[in-house]
Structure formats: C-alpha cells, structure tokens
Amino acid sequence: MSLKATARSSDTFLCVAGEMFLPVAQGALWWPGQRMLVVSDLHLEKGSNFASRGQLLPPYDTQATLTAVESLVDVFNPETVVSLGDSFHDPQAEFRLGAEAVSRIRRLTSRVEWFWVEGNHDPEPPAHLGGIGANKLERGNIVFRHEPTGAPGEIAGHLHPVARIGGRGRALRRKCFVTDGASLVLPSLGAFTGGLNVLDAAIATLFRDGAMVFATNGTRVHHIERKRLRPDRFGL
C-alpha cells in the first residue's frame, strides 16, 4: 500500500479545544485548518548514540525517520511543520549526522515553515540545519510543547504513548494518540523509539476524567475501547 493511501486511510478526526485534527497512521498529526503537519520525538541519531556506548544498533534510524517525514510532507504538502521536541537524541547528535542526512534536513526546513520545539534531549536545536527554534508554539487556541502538562489546548509529545491491546488470547502493542478533547499527546515517530503504556500513571494523571485512545497499526488509526487496554507485563 502506498504512503498516500495509508496517510489518508483514517477518517477519524480528533477535536482538541475546538479544532479538528487528523491522526495519521505513521504517528503524525495533520491540522487541515492551518495546513500544519505535527511530528514528535524523531530522536535522530539515537542509533549512533547507543553505538558510542557499546550497544550496537543498525545505523539506519536517522535515514528511516527522515524518509517517513519526507513522505508525509509529500503527501500533505503542509505550509508548516512542527517537530515537537526530542527531534535529536542528544545535544551532540548534529555532529554525528552524515552529509546526506544534513542535506535532507536542510531541504525539508527550506521547503516549509519549520519549527523545532525544544525537548529535554535537545534543548537547543541546531540552527545550522534551518528552521526556527521555539520553547513552545502557539496558534490560536492551541499550544504546542514537548512535555505535556494536561493544560487545555495543549498538544505535546515526550511520553511516546503506546497501547497494549488485548484480544483473542494475545495482546498487541501499538503506538497511539491519547486525548480527552481538551489536550492531546502524540506518539513518537522515530524509528528506534520505544513507548510508555497509556495505563502508566505518567499518562493517566494527565487525563484525570479519562481519555480516548486511538492506536495505529501503521496503516490505519482505530479507536480502542478502554476495556481492551492491558498493562505491560514484565519481560514483554
């Protein structure tokens, strides 16, 4: 299936603070009213960071993540892209980027209005790659920041939410969007990023009156009933 078909396959729009957003199967968020694409937690050069500490991972995560972002930009043709923090895995990641990756990032940031929201892994996004650094970004009723607080109108990342979904004698773990209609937390888009179960207190306490979970299997986004959610089990 083509990315274009995949990205458009969900007709589930999410309302956050009165604005309508489309959750995209790859884990991004599309705001048609602003022609804005939102991605979160790319963690570029995570593989090389782990390799420097003796944990050898295949060195392809940056290229795979950039390919995903480029494809989404091709599909949606946004005016603005917001990268919601932890775009780079650590403050030294920019120096480990290969020349090809640098060129690809610069092409992206010159193609659209691009905002790097500061994250805890990358408090000062590298200026030489283009784009605009921001502690947070406000557009109308919506505020984009890295670490969620649960404030009304907030769209954030940081927590890498995943849903463990029970059914037919087994459980599947899927990236997911979490929202109560007032705020929303995106999943991570990075190729090597893990995830935090939506039932974990760090997520649950943001939505004290309960939240809706929309999980992606990579091709579609589905609403998951809370009775199907399972906690993680040790070793899984």
Determine the average pLDDT of the residues in 137-149. 96
Domains within the chain, CATH numbers bracketed: 3-228 (3.60.21)
Percent of the chain with pLDDT over 90: 65
CA distance 48 to 54: 10
Give 166-213 pLDDT, tens digit per residue. 977 788 999 999 999 999 999 999 876 779 999 999 999 999 888 999
pLDDT at 5 over 70: no
Which pLDDT value is given to residue 2? 41
Of 17, 42, 18, whose CA–CA distance to 28 is shortest? 42
Give 81-133 pLDDT, tens digit per residue. 999 988 886 777 777 888 899 999 999 999 999 999 998 866 777 888 999 99
- What is the residue type of 79? E
How far is Cα of residue 138 from the mean position of the Cα atoms in its chain?
Answer: 18
Burial of 116 (0-12, 13-18, 19+ CB in 10 A): buried
Of 220, 202, 224, 201, whose CA–CA distance to 212 is shortest? 224
Using DSSP, how many helices (H) and how many strands (E) does the chain show? 6, 16
